[in-house]
Amino acid sequence: MVTIGITGFAVSLALALVLTPFVKKFAHRIGAIDVPNHRKVHTRMMPRLGGLAIYAAFTACILFLMPWLPDGWLSSHDERLIGGLLTGGTLIVLLGALDDKFQLSAKLKLLVQIGAACVVVFGFDVQIDLVNIPFGSSMQALGDWIGIPLTIFWIVGVTNAINLIDGLDGLAAGVSGIAITSILVMAALMGQGTVVMLSAILLGAIIGFLFFNFHPAKIFMGDSGSLFLGFALAMLSMLGFKQITVVSFVTPLLIIGVPLSDTFFAIIRRWVQKKPIFEPDKGHLHHCLQQLGFSHRKTVLIIYGIAGFFGACAVVQSVISKSGYGNWITFIVIAVMVFLLQIGAELIGIVDKSRRPVLDLLFRMRMKTQTDSRSK
Range of the domain at 239: 2-357
Residue 163 labelled as part of a binding site: yes
Instruction: Determine, yes or no, domain membership for 364.
Output: no
73/76 Cα distance (integer angstroms): 10
Instruction: Determine, yes or no, domain membership for 376.
Output: no
Which residue type does 230 have? G
Q: Are 39 and 280 in contact (CB under 8 A)?
A: yes
Given the DSSP bridges, would you call strands 46-47 and 246-248 parallel, antiparallel or unpaired? unpaired
Instruction: Determine, yes or no, domain membership for 367.
Output: no
DSSP 216: S
56/60 Cα distance (integer angstroms): 6
Instruction: Give me the mean pLDDT over the 37-45 stretch.
Output: 63
Instruction: Determine, yes or no, domain membership for 239.
Output: yes
Residue 338, exposed/middle/buried by CB under 10 A (0-12, 13-18, 19+)? Answer: exposed
Instruction: Determine, yes or no, domain membership for 144.
Output: yes
How many independent structural domains does the chain possess? Answer: 1
Lowest-confidence segment of 158-162, 220-224, 263-267, 330-334 by average pLDDT: 330-334
Provide the whole-model pTM.
Answer: 0.87
pLDDT tens digits along 230-275: 999 999 887 644 443 344 556 777 888 888 888 888 888 888 888 8
Residue 100 labelled as part of a binding site: no
Q: Give residue 180's pLDDT.
A: 94
pLDDT tens digits along 48-104: 999 999 999 999 999 999 988 888 788 888 888 899 999 999 999 999 999 999 989
Instruction: Determine, yes or no, domain membership for 362.
Output: no
Instruction: Determine, yes or no, domain membership for 137.
Output: yes
- Pick from 351, 225, 234: which is nearest to 288 by CA? 351
224 or 330, greater pLDDT: 224
Instruction: Give me the mean pLDDT over the 310-321 stretch.
Output: 79
One-character DSSP codes across 330-375 = HHHHHHHHHHHHHHHHHHHTSS-TT--HHHHHHHHHHHHHHHHHHH
Binned at pLDDT 50, 70 and 90, residue 323 comes out as: low
Q: Does residue 137 carry a pLDDT above 80?
A: no
pLDDT tens digits along 167-181: 889 999 999 999 999
Q: Are 62 and 83 in contact (CB under 8 A)?
A: no
Given the DSSP bridges, would you call strands 46-47 and 33-34 parallel, antiparallel or unpaired? antiparallel
Instruction: Determine, yes or no, domain membership for 312.
Output: yes
